[in-house]
Chain A
Amino acid sequence: AQSVTQLGSHVSVSEGALVLLRCNYSSSVPPYLFWYVQYPNQGLQLLLKYTSAATLVKGINGFEAEFKKSETSFHLTKPSAHMSDAAEYFCAATSGGYQKVTFGTGTKLQVIP
């Protein structure tokens, strides 16, 4: 079965600093990978997705993620954090014949002024 691991349930960065949120997946076949963001008291919305095209994927709000097959990773980055980036971020994956998406447990990002 597919599994998704997000390292760090809470991450704090200073405003203007690099944001790095880690995600590793387990899959015996090439996966489809997603990053979603959840603001307080809202549903999730898609930041970006990898579907076997370019390994570096650009998303909304300046975020990007790089698919590294050798490391089974799909880490999310943003060069300069803004206060508005404070939210919870979820990595998700589906693969093979699955018609289901597996979500990681989430990482809460705090941005310190």
Chain B
Amino acid sequence: DAGITQSPRHKVTETGTPVTLRCHQTENHRYMYWYRQDPGHGLRLIHYSYGVKDTDKGEVSDGYSVSRSKTEDFLLTLESATSSQTSVYFCAISESGPRGSEQYFGPGTRLTVT
């Protein structure tokens, strides 16, 4: 299995509080991604990174920010959590860009915003 960990694995938080999710990899892969998974929507890309300090938005980036100061860590921050951000969040990595390149997924973080 690819070395990807996510922390925390479960979190319950209140509306309006900031939340940071961490993705850590030991594979030295260049690309890292944050997705959210919701019933009926599959996986939707929130943000991705193509190198240290290089990030770009995905299709559902509103309300989320990311940072990547080291190759191995990719942080996802909800500045002010809302109930619509209750979801399961997956981090993924790939060695090169997603064209033809397999993505390896972490175990997920289940976030509940009350």
Contact = CB atoms under 8 A, between A and B. Distances in A.
A and B bind: yes
Interface of A: 9, 32, 34, 41-46, 49, 51, 90, 94-95, 98-101, 103-106
Interface residues of B, number: 27
Given A99-B97, A101-B45, A105-B40, A43 B107 contact: yes
A72 B65 CA distance: 35
Contacts of B40: 9, 105
Contacts of B105: 43-45
Given A44-B43, A105-B41, A94 B99 contact: yes
Nearest to A51: B100
B100 A99 contact: no
A99 B50 contact: yes
21 contacts: A32-B98, A32-B100, A34-B102, A41-B108, A42-B107, A42-B108, A43-B92, A43-B105, A43-B107, A43-B108, A44-B105, A46-B103, A98-B98, A98-B99, A99-B50, A99-B56, A99-B98, A99-B99, A105-B41, A105-B42, A106-B42
